[in-house]
Structure 1
């Protein structure tokens, strides 16, 4: 009988999050030019008519990345109600949102602190939300401890 609690059989890290995109070049430009990510690798499956682009910060061996999936014959997608968002860390959230706005990025929630419930105390993180070219939500979370 296998030990199902052994480290070898328990997942140990997030590899990537996949999002489907309608215009691969537009999406790569958005994540690269506005969010500072780098294309890490590309896989093209001509017979199945799709391309995968892995994009992120740093390398895939120690960082979670995004997989942009471009199905060649698909013109649009419905996000449904199950998808939430991708969260990215930023040191200066107000400056980041100014920069993104100047680049034409849609800010859907202006930067500001999370509201604390009346019965809670303490500070909450400062966040903002933006959208990528396909309407996927991206949360920016300020980490000014750097």
Structure 2
């Protein structure tokens, strides 16, 4: 049997990304790994539900140029129990990058340009 473990996003500014994921999605660090020579750092984030799935943020010390994300044809998705409240929060943060009212979803963009889909909980 297999189960999802984590997904990785590479980030340029780890502190900025950690602040964004905390504020926008309530994700908090649950473990870290840093290279002995401090050339990279991995930080694993988890949500408050106890889900085993984690988001791994990878910071590379020598990376200065933005990552090429192509056409953003990949994304993570989160279910929001209070969809309208999350929408208003993300709107106030200025991080909504695409809305699809017909499907009842929207996307936010993190500081590095990764897209994250927000879907309402099924009622």
Q: TM-score, normalised by structure 2?
A: 0.87
Residue 139 (str. 1) matches residue 117 (str. 2):
yes
- Would you say 1:65 and 2:43 are equivalent positions? no
Q: Distance in 2 between matches of 1:59 and 1:144?
A: 17
**2:30 aligned partner:** 40
Whether 2:39 is the aligned partner of 1:49: answer yes
Moved over 6 A (4+): none
In 2, the alpha carbon distance for the partners of 1:95 and 1:58 equals: 17
* Conserved? CA contact 1:93–1:127, under 8 Å: no
Does residue 129 of the first structure (1) align with residue 104 of the second (2)? no
CA drift at 1:35: 0.9
SS of the residue 1:113 aligns to: coil
Aligned mates of 1:22, 1:63 — CA distance in 2: 25
Give unpaired runs (5+ residues) of structure 2. Answer: none
Give the drift of 1:48.
Answer: 6.3
Does 2:79 correspond to 1:92?
Answer: no
In structure 1, what is the Cα distance between the partners aligned to 2:71 and 2:9?
14
Count how many residue pairs are aligned between Structure 1 and Structure 2.
Answer: 122
State the alpha-carbon separation in 2 of the partners of residues 83 and 110 from structure 1.
15
